[in-house]
Amino acid sequence: MAFVDLIRHGEPVGGRRYRGQLDDPLSELGWRQMRSAVAAQRPWRHIISSPLLRCSEFAAELGQRLQLPLEIEPRLMEIGFGRWEGQTAEQIEASEPGALRRFYDDPVRGAPPGAEELEHFHQRVLAAWQMIIRRDAEMPVLVVAHAGVIRAIVGEVLGMPPGNMFKLQVANAGISRIHVSDALQTVLEFHNARL
């Protein structure tokens, strides 16, 4: 079977915060995390990346080092967090007590003001996912993306409703592998691993 590896970007400049679609680059730690995660691996034929710097800069470096084609796919951009963009959990809790709990309990009705609708996010990510798995000649593929994007794809493979996707933990530089059969059946082989 062919497979797709999904890797979340490493830590961005500014550390842990609800970054969403803010375009912060990787920190030095983030670069080390990503380089360590892929190390000497080279099973891929193609790299597809989110356009945001914390993904695309590493994808470009890896593509150049391995001499692999790189494709930037806008539909793999992280979910937009609206008013929470750039804030830490502590800042959100201080200004909106209980808001984070409401969001994680019900990300559809508890979304922050101005956030991208979960259904819209889910649809755009899964449209990109369908495009990726239908291009068999390019497999195996490495997708460099975000926690939300990986949650949406893994959740789809596991048959989870979109509202439950935030129950999946996705570590910085964690890798998930999804096997794709000739009939486009998908199976999660591992999640949040290091190769």
Residue 6 falls inside a structural domain: yes
Domain of 67? 2-80+117-193
Comparing C-alpha atoms, which of 130, 143, 144 is closest to residue 180?
A: 130
Q: What is the reported pLDDT for 171?
A: 96
Residue 148 falls inside a structural domain: yes
Q: What is the reported pLDDT for 88?
A: 96
Residue 106 falls inside a structural domain: no
Q: What is the reported pLDDT for 26?
A: 98
Residue 156 falls inside a structural domain: yes
Residues with catalytic function? 9, 78
Residue 175 falls inside a structural domain: yes
Residue 109 falls inside a structural domain: no
Domain count, the chain: 1
Both tokens of 69, joined, read 């084609």
Q: Do residues 40 and 177 make contact, with C-beta atoms less than 8 angstroms apart?
A: no
Residue 24 sits in a domain whose CATH number is 3.40.50.1240
Which residues, given as ranges, of the chain have pLDDT below 50? none
Q: What is the reported pLDDT for 73?
A: 98
Residue 29 falls inside a structural domain: yes
SS in 3 state form for 106-158?
CCCCCCCCCCCCHHHHHHHHHHHHHHHHCCHHHCCEEEEECHHHHHHHHHHHH
Q: What is the reported pLDDT for 1?
A: 66
User: For tokens 């691996």, what's the residue?
Assistant: 41
Residue 13 falls inside a structural domain: yes
